[in-house]
Amino acid sequence: MGLLVVSAAGTNPTSLPFGADQFDESDERHKGGLARFYNCYYTIAMPATFLALTVVVYIQVKVGWGLGFAIPTVLMAAAFAVFLAGAAVYVYVPPEGSIFSSVARVVVASCRKWRLRLPHPDDARRQEELLYSGPPAVGSNGNGRRVFRLPLTLQLSFLNKAAIVTDADEIRPDGTPARAWNLCSVQQVEEAKCLVKIIPVWISGTLWFTVVAELTNYC
């Protein structure tokens, strides 16, 4: 059981994000590729889970544990070999810090500026022009691959106040804020909104993943 937890914790949370990193939605060649990747991922994963919980379990019970464990071992080794074979062409996005600390900065900065009024509250494009957009190098992740910039939205507009530049906000020559907990870029604000928006999906998905986990434990 402990080995199952360790192996699942190392692959389940990282396989989807790593696959998503291979697509650059700002590139016309990759338009729609990310959506197709997610569809293919779950289309393959769900039948594979079904076969693992039926056919493989049947072999373990009726034929023998040796063959029952040999089948998934061989399949996992083959999958690992295929994964390593593509190592030379994978896109590696370097880590940029914790998303949760960035979200916390957005919340703190917007709360500190709660009395300020947003410019052009009904026009996202004009409002974005007057907010802090971040350092010029934000458009690249350091390995030549462009990073998709999120445009400003008017949803959860209270968080937009985190990007309002005041007289007290000092911006360094490289374009970064001197006090990261007082001023956030539009990109940080929109990333925080994305995380907030998936909370309902996460809550509703908890029940489904609980059922899947119980099936594995039962078998």
pLDDT tens-digit readout, 140-180: 444 444 456 788 999 999 999 999 999 888 888 888 888 88
Per-residue pLDDT band for 27 (boundaries 50, 70, 90) equals low
| 199 contact partners, CB below 8 Å, separation of at least 6 | none
| 93 contact partners, CB below 8 Å, separation of at least 6 | 21, 141, 143, 145
- 25 burial type by CB count under 10 A (0-12 exposed, 13-18 middle, 19+ buried): middle
Q: Are 190 and 151 in contact (CB under 8 A)?
A: yes
Per-residue pLDDT band for 218 (boundaries 50, 70, 90) equals low
Q: Give domain limits for the chain.
A: 2-92, 99-197
Cβ count near 156 (within 10 Å) = 14
Whether the predicted pLDDT of 77 surpasses 90? yes
Whether the predicted pLDDT of 138 surpasses 80? no
Query: What sections of 21-153 are H helices per DSSP?
Result: 33-51, 57-62, 65-85, 99-112, 124-129
- 113-127 average pLDDT score: 90
| 126 contact partners, CB below 8 Å, separation of at least 6 | 119, 120
Whether the predicted pLDDT of 196 surpasses 80? yes
